[in-house]
A and B are shown apart, each in its own frame.
Chain A
Amino acid sequence: MEWINVILQGVLVGGLYAMFAAGLSLIFGVMRLVNIAHGDLIVLAAYVALVATQTFGIGPLTALIIVVPVMAIIGYALQWFVLNRTLGEDLLPPLLVTFGLSVIIQNGLLTAFTADNVKLQAGGIEVATIRLAEGLYVGVLPLLQFAVAVAVIAGLQFIFYRTAIGRAFRATADDPAVAQLMGLDNRRVFALAMAASLAVVAIAGVFLAVRANFDPSQGPARLIFGFEAVIIGGLGSLWGTLAGGLILGVAQAVGAHLDPGWQILAGHVAFLIVLAARPQGLFAKVHT
């Protein structure tokens, strides 16, 4: 029973990791861009939520109504004015620019909010639990986060495979030149993709803010977890990203149960095992 509880907690955390990863996976899939600032943007979203809750006196989950559109607009503008200029044959410019962006975001947040830990209060929901079975309890908030993560991935999957804009994303990723022949402006397609990515980042940021303390320096760790989840799951597969997040979460939970100091390490070990055994990831989609 004890181990079931451990696995369960790992699965629920894994949902959160999958949400960290989903935006990253989307952007790499559409425009082959590795966004080094991804984790910092999650933290930025958390601070936007902080400002929203303080300014309007609303709860963090209600603040999503503000944070999601704000981050989506930031994403569109970031892609349109900055990142579109870095895209080309070379993989290096986007890496360098997003690395610089990461530094700017961290220091900007540090200046605006200081290095103090903060956490958003969601009220009673944070401590509410549901009893699944004898000795098996699950927190309502982690369950909600997991459900939202699955819904977000399902939503992205729907957009990608059942809508016209999703077709545009996939076609532009396949062949940007021929996509132009269809009347698609690559700059706009990429900007919309980044807006979608940061909308997901917004949700991940709010959940991060409610779950634990955060401060401006937490971005890179989120990036690592998101990155590992994407790689474990396999590039090009959103459900694979969910699986990757779950595996990472369970690995960390198992490691933590054996010894609290092993939590993060266990996740990295799982990542390395997958990378060694199946480098393309567990559910990678391969194009011929």
Chain B
Amino acid sequence: MPEALLAVRNLEAFYGDFQALFGVSIEVARAEAVAVIGANGAGKSTLLKSIAGLLRARRDAIAFAGEPIGGMPAYAVAARGIALVPEGRGLFPSLSVEENLLIGGQLGRLGAWTLRRVYELFPVLGQRRKLPSTALSGGQQQMAALGRALMANPQLLLCDEISLGLAPIVVREIYARLPGVRAEGTAIVLVEQDVVQALAAASRVYCLQEGRVALSGAAKDLTREAIAAAYFGV
């Protein structure tokens, strides 16, 4: 059994006194796409933020490529090869589209993803490269945020609700690009409320419910009833 690229073991997360995650464990293999689904407030974003280093975690709770990274600051986690596409896109308003992409590549890690390749993946970004990032539509901003994360040439891409607030046709357009990302050897964790899209894109699924893993398994093996039960906690 090949060693997992990302191994989260019994992760707990707190916002002050409020506990958001209770002993969550997930695994992601190299170049694998894993979906994390769940209702609002289930702890999906909290999980990604903990992995990315934006929230404190126990040192041995998160291991990446065999090394414990729990509790490392976000800039150190990014340097290890994990890129987060944050909820709400998080583009820098003072920077143009191209500058947003360039700063994604700030660490200078070489790989398949260059500015040219990102523009090939999302031609609309190339057409609007000099505009301020705030001039893009929601879907274009999501493409820019994804492109910015790819510019870091990460081994692991964390996507926090990339379908949020976007029209279905736009969501399909973005998801259609993800196989191309995996083909370059990047593992992806997809946090989604859009269950259908997540199941279509991922090989394995974890369902969170109130801070705990309620269900996990191969996407093709899970029945609708099982997923609904885990999602809603009935």
Chain A residues in the interface with B (C-beta under 8 A): 164, 167-168, 170-171, 173-175, 177-186, 287-288
Contact = CB atoms under 8 A, between A and B. Distances in A.
Contacts of B74: 177, 180-181
A182 B78 contact: yes
A242 B148 CA distance: 34
Interface string B95-120: 10001001110110000000000000
Nearest to B149: A181
11 contacts: A164-B103, A167-B99, A168-B103, A170-B95, A171-B103, A174-B94, A174-B95, A181-B83, A182-B75, A183-B107, A288-B93
B15 to A, nearest CB: 14
B94 A183 contact: no
A180 B54 CA distance: 9
B73 A170 contact: no
A171 B75 contact: no
B86 interface: yes
B144 to A, nearest CB: 13
Given A170-B95, A171-B95, A288-B134, A182 B106 contact: yes
Contacts of A183: 75, 78-79, 106-107, 152
Interface in B52-76: 52-54, 73-75
Interface in B104-161: 104, 106-107, 134, 148, 152
Instruction: Point out which of B53, B92, B93 has the most chain A C-beta atoms below 10 A from its C-beta.
Output: B92
A185 B73 contact: yes
A170 B92 contact: yes
Given A164-B102, A168-B103, A171-B103, A177 B95 contact: no
B233 interface: no
Nearest to B86: A178
A168 B148 CA distance: 14
A225 to B, nearest CB: 27
B104 A171 contact: no
A285 to B, nearest CB: 8
B92 A171 contact: yes
B179 interface: no
B88 to A, nearest CB: 10
Count class of interface residues, chain B? 20 to 34
B53 A180 contact: yes
A221 B106 CA distance: 40
Nearest 7 CB-CB pairings of A with B: A180-B74, A183-B78, A183-B107, A178-B90, A174-B92, A170-B94, A171-B92
Given A164-B102, A168-B106, A171-B103, A181 B84 contact: yes
Instruction: Point out which of A180, A182, A186, A288 has the most chain B C-beta atoms below 10 A from its C-beta.
Output: A182
Contacts of A174: 92-95
A161 B139 CA distance: 26
B94 A171 contact: yes
B123 to A, nearest CB: 23
A175 B145 CA distance: 14
A175 B78 contact: no
Given A164-B102, A183-B106, A288-B134, A178 B92 contact: yes
B229 to A, nearest CB: 35
A185 B134 CA distance: 25
Contact of B92 (A164, A175, A180, A288): A175
Nearest to B79: A183
A185 to B, nearest CB: 5
Nearest to A178: B90
Contacts of B152: 182-183
B104 A182 contact: yes
B165 to A, nearest CB: 17
A258 B83 CA distance: 63
A184 B78 CA distance: 9
Given A183-B79, A287-B93, A287-B94, A167 B73 contact: no
B80 to A, nearest CB: 10
Given A178-B86, A181-B78, 9 more contacts: A167-B95, A167-B103, A168-B106, A171-B95, A180-B73, A180-B75, A181-B84, A182-B103, A288-B134
